[in-house]
Structure 1
Amino acid sequence: MAFLKSILTMSTIARMNLASVDLNLLVAFEALMEERNVTRAGERVGLAQPSMSSVLTRLRALFGDDLFVRTASGMQPTAKALSLARPLSDALGQIRGVLEPRSAFDPATTRRRLSIAVTDYGDLIVVPPLVTALRREAPYIDLVVRPIVDTATSVANLEHGDVDALIGGHLPASTRITRCTLFDESFVCIRDAKRARQKIRLTKDDYTRLPHVLFSSAGGDGIPGAIDTMLARHGRKRRTAITLAHVVAVPFAVAGTDLVATMAKRIARRFAATAGVSVVPLPYDVEAFTIDLLHTRRAMNDPTLRWFIELVSRVCKKL
């Protein structure tokens, strides 16, 4: 119970008799926080829906708060529940770490199937070296890589346990998941290699005068809308002449034409020589973005997932 004492600084629990706190209630709270559904939370902790409803009643009495309120979009946590979530989850994680067998996991012999969802960026830049490391260190762990088409849906799939992790940039936040920043990424321009040799640097006037290629998997303005927002602040506008659904197609569309494109630096560099384009500096200052890994808090209680997340981090430090 020493771990639970670490959360006694919270005013709600400070006056409680710790011996009277049922640890199973805190486990149920964690499940409710992650599932936002009484039935699914009950399934996770082995309780039928009526029993789980009774547990929620006890939790409300314990903390003197509604904790979860029914809405049209499901059970939503109150401010009190949100403030309790992280310290309670951390404390339970420490307890599980003490109780779990220490010799249970060996990456070289473990047989497991993991599933991740990634953006196009993650597929091209993170997945290849990750697969190499996985084959070297854990040859019996199978990996399924799915595309992130709709970020909100992918986050929901992660929260419900349909995938083990998400990797990519511009992923939405959620109170039920943990975000680990893998590295920073920046934007560069690409243009036809022969034209780049004639003029190495683009001016601001060049950038807005030349026609652009835009990558948008959703078919609209896509993430590069940030570029248009930046240009608008400078009183400028670009012309998008071509919109493509796959980022890998962009450099090949630029090659041999007067088109330019704004891309993530690592992707541009990877395909520049093959496509026949050159990477040139962006004539405007554009804020860098992060490539992140998202996982649930319960992943830290799974030795295989914990090792896998650490592997992704190690691989990305070399990119």
Structure 2
Amino acid sequence: MGMAGMTSIDHFNLRSFDLNLMIAFDAMMKERSVTKAAAKLRIQQPAMSHNLSTLRMLLDDELFIRIGNVMQPTAKAEAIAVSVADILDRAQSVIQAKDCFNPACAEREFKVGFTCEELLLLPDLVARMAVSAPGIRIRAVRVFGDDVGRALDQGDIDLSVVCFPLVPARYRHQKLLNQTLACVYNPDLLAVSGAPSRTEYLAARHVFIALQDDIRGCVGTLIREAGFDLDIVVGVPDYMAALEIAAVSPMIATMPDLIASRYASRFGLAVHPAPVPIDLPSVSMVWSARGESDPAIQWLRAEITDIAAGITSEGRLLAAE
């Protein structure tokens, strides 16, 4: 029955009625004995007698009349017995119900936060959904730094894929992928033979991913903190723009190896390890405690985990933390 067809519940008046009395009434209907009903409810007989007295007062009816050794229900008791049993059965079903999620027929929109890793996971996730979960929608949301925690806390996103070095302890998280640093360039435009030496790398002009104010971006900042000064000419908000610029300009684009190995060939770019000793943070999946037991989010996490397992050339998947 839809909400429009439901009778409005008078919460104020209903709260004055002890719903446990309905359980006592149902036990009496089944046992026809105060002693047996008390045993069924695991309470003392005086407590059961008190419940019966309260019911008689509230419903203005004797409800049960002793005939010989049996407490026989009155006409009013018989009239309400089926409804009371139905209410208790529904309540029990609600309490004992286990959530389930069937992606094949479910319709739901997930909001997934990304700091900059959507190219690693989103294409494969969407391809899977087209086959096995056609009613599922994904909205990718760009998140930065502390915005991830705020968005999770406020329910603005269901989970997030990030490359933070540390994840706050109050969030659930799973490491998905390790990544190293790669550089890509157009060998027809840049005078470099094979893998660039450190000297060649430092002397080149560069394009970096810069999601916020600093043109260096997070990777360029790590390189600077390691003591290397680069000539960063362009900062762009996404990897595809960096790859396109590297394809048409004599510049080096520096990015995680997983992105470079998957997409650089589409732009005719050479891919080599970046000749600077930089450790990149792992790619992790983060979600809030309130989404821990949601079967739909559990399914989404499992899909992302499975996709991550096949992304790297080594098929590397780190254990959940």
TM over 0.5: yes
Aligned equivalents of 2:178 and 2:224: distance in 1? 21
Q: Which residue of 1 aligns with 2:262?
A: 270
Asked whether 1:279 is paired with 2:275, we answer: no
Mapping for residues 199-238 of structure 1, pairs under 5 Å = 199-220=193-214, 221-224=216-219, 225-230=221-226, 232=227, 236-238=228-230
Aligned equivalent of 1:50: none
Deviation at 1:207, TM superposition (A): 1.2
Mapped to 2, the partners of 1:143 and 1:171 lie a distance apart of: 26
TM superposition shift of 1:135: 2.5
Q: Which residue of the other structure, out of 118, 121, 129, is the alignment partner of 2:114?
A: 118
- Superposed displacement of residue 219, structure 1: 3.0
TM-score by length of 2: 0.62
Give the match's secondary structure for 1:120: coil
Are the aligned partners of 2:217 and 2:235 in contact in 1 as well (CA < 8 Å)? no
SS at match of 2:101: coil
Shift of 1:162: 1.7
Is the contact between residue 219 and residue 245 of structure 1 (CA under 8 Å) also seen in structure 2?
no
TM-score by length of 1: 0.62
Deviation at 1:196, TM superposition (A): 6.5
Shift of 1:227: 1.3
Which structure has the greater CA radius of gyration? 2
- Of 218, 222, 246, the residue aligned with 1:254 is 246
CA distance in 2, matches of 1:194, 1:110: 50
Structure 2 residue corresponding to 1:137, chosen from 111, 117, 132: 132
Tell me the SS of whatever aligns to 1:289.
coil
Aligned length: 215
Matching residue of 1:107: 103
Q: Secondary structure at the match of 2:218?
A: coil
Query: What CA distance in whole angstroms lies between the structure 2 residues aligned with 1:209 and 1:216?
Result: 20
Tell me the residue number matched to 1:180. Answer: 174
- Percent identical among aligned pairs is 19
Unmatched runs of 5 consecutive residues or more in structure 2: 1-94, 312-321
Contact 2:192 2:200 survives alignment (8 Å): no
Moved over 6 A (4+): none
User: In proportion to residue count, which structure has more helix?
Assistant: 1
Instruction: Give 1:106 shift.
Output: 2.1
SS in 2 for 1:109: coil
Using the TM superposition, give the Cα deviation of residue 133 of structure 1 relative to its aligned residue in structure 2, in angstroms.
1.7
